[in-house]
Amino acid sequence: MFTGIIEEVGKIKKIEYDGEGRKLIVEAHKIMSDIKQGESIALDGVCLTVESWGKDFFVVYVMPETMKKTGFLNLKVGQLINLEKALPLNGRLGGHFVQGHVDTTGTITQIIPDSKAKIIKISIPFEWNKYLVPKGSISINGISLTIIEAEKDFFTVSIIPHTQNITNIGNKKIHDTVNIEFDILAKHIVKLVTPMVSSGLTLDKIKEMGIR
């Protein structure tokens, strides 16, 4: 489990191809002080397992299914990548619950200056819009952000200067692909409510049952 609070921006040092999978060698510094083999770490919001490490790098393997579900097919050597280690049980939840299980990718279609902040518009496949809630949480490249607008096939978020400076979102451009994980609470609610709506349950019927 993660929080969407990025600890460090690392750099892709090397990519080794293994069929449809990839082995990534990632340069990092801040998070290396207590890194361990087998622990989980989020790279641009994707939960991966540390296989090995050195003084200023660590190695993870990306399986083919993860390559298909994320924007990792576009990764290049030298690319900056957001890093977050797993949340300890006694840690502070500064963002929201992020599993590191990317649901889909989105495309940046517009970047609008808003004083010192930036409003970023991201298009998504229509089938995912049921998880979009204005003022709700969403993870973009592993960053915990708040949705501003939520429409049929896009949403917007505001990126404050601090977030631009300490993550890779400040370097993104129009047409870039980003990893998206929707709020786990929203997904559970939709899962519970959908069968009720499909069965014809209405607000009037709910009131008749004495539920207010």
pLDDT digits (tens, 9 = 90+) for 152-183: 999 999 999 999 999 999 999 999 999 999 99
Report the mean per-residue pLDDT for the chain: 92
User: Which residue type, as a one-letter code, is found at position 52?
Assistant: S
Q: How many helices (H) and strands (E) does the chain have?
A: 4, 12
Lookup: tokens for 198: 């499909």
User: How far is the C-alpha of 107 from the C-alpha of 174, rounded, in Å?
Assistant: 8
211: pLDDT strictly greater than 90: no
pLDDT tens, residue by residue, 112-158: 999 999 999 999 999 999 999 999 999 999 999 999 999 999 999 99
**Beta carbons of 39 and 117 less than 8 angstroms apart:** no
CA-based nearest residue to 141, from 178, 101, 173:
178
User: How far is the C-alpha of 130 from the C-alpha of 118, rounded, in Å?
Assistant: 25
User: How far is the C-alpha of 120 from the C-alpha of 94, rounded, in Å?
Assistant: 22
- Going along the chain from its start, the domains and CATH numbers come out as 8-85 (2.40.30.20), 104-196 (2.40.30.20)
Q: Is 82 helix (H, G, I), strand (E, B) or coil?
A: strand
Cα 208 to the chain's mean position, in Å? 41
Lookup: tokens for 120: 């970023």
| Beta pairing class for 143-150 and 154-159 | antiparallel
